[in-house]
Amino acid sequence: MAIREIRTEGDEVLRKVCKPVEKMTPSLKELIGDMYDTLYDADGVGLAAPQVGIRKRIVVIDVGDGHQYTLINPVIVSQEGSQTGEEGCLSVPNKAGVVTRPQKVTVRALDADMKEFTLTGEDLLARAICHETDHLDGILYVDKVEGKLIDLEQPEDEEDGEGKE
């Protein structure tokens, strides 16, 4: 497996609608493995294929609950409630913003063996499912931010003249 370059805001692939996966191939299995490697290397929660330059409807998610979720051709079939909170994105580095998402979502997708399944997620998992499936339609969380983006980079410490290494 390998770590792939994460595309950042301004890259046109992030604004394109992705194509459905018709069949699993060795190169797509490799892509999924690479997406997990890339996700963990970047200390993220979710990653969509367009974020590594591939216009396919594939998402990987790990919210730290002991499960890895691979969603191929995901479709959100129901949503309930709402939650408002801060989000970030590996494709918009060092920024965050407040976004309202459903509190609970159910998604129908295919797994890496192309078997259909249904997943219901709440809280962070619901947020991640919505965030990552948006990527598949060329939508970035910055399109949904309420108010302004927050800059997460630490400013240099002006008092003692020392900056971050």
Q: Give just the sign of the alpha carbon dihedral 54, 56, 61, 67.
A: negative
φ, ψ dihedrals at 139, nearest 5° = -105, 130
Q: Is 132 a catalytic residue?
A: yes
Q: Considering the candidates 86, 132, 162, 165, report the single residue annotated as catalytic.
A: 132
Domain limits at 21?
12-151
The answer as to whether 25 is a domain residue is yes
pLDDT of 10 > 80? The answer is yes
The answer as to whether 36 is a domain residue is yes
pLDDT of 14 > 60? The answer is yes
The answer as to whether 6 is a domain residue is no
The answer as to whether 132 is a domain residue is yes
The answer as to whether 159 is a domain residue is no
> What pLDDT is recorded for position 155?
58
Q: Which pTM value belongs to this model?
A: 0.91
Across the chain, mean pLDDT equals 93
Rounded CA-CA distance 96/112 in Å is 31
pLDDT band at 1 (very low <50, low <70, confident <90, very high): confident
pLDDT of 156 > 60? The answer is no
* CATH code of 43's domain: 3.90.45.10
> What pLDDT is recorded for position 63?
97
Structural domain total, the chain: 1
The answer as to whether 165 is a domain residue is no
Report strand pairing: 104-110 vs 58-61: unpaired
Beta strands in the chain (DSSP E): 46-48, 58-61, 69-80, 83-89, 92-101, 104-110, 116-122, 146-151
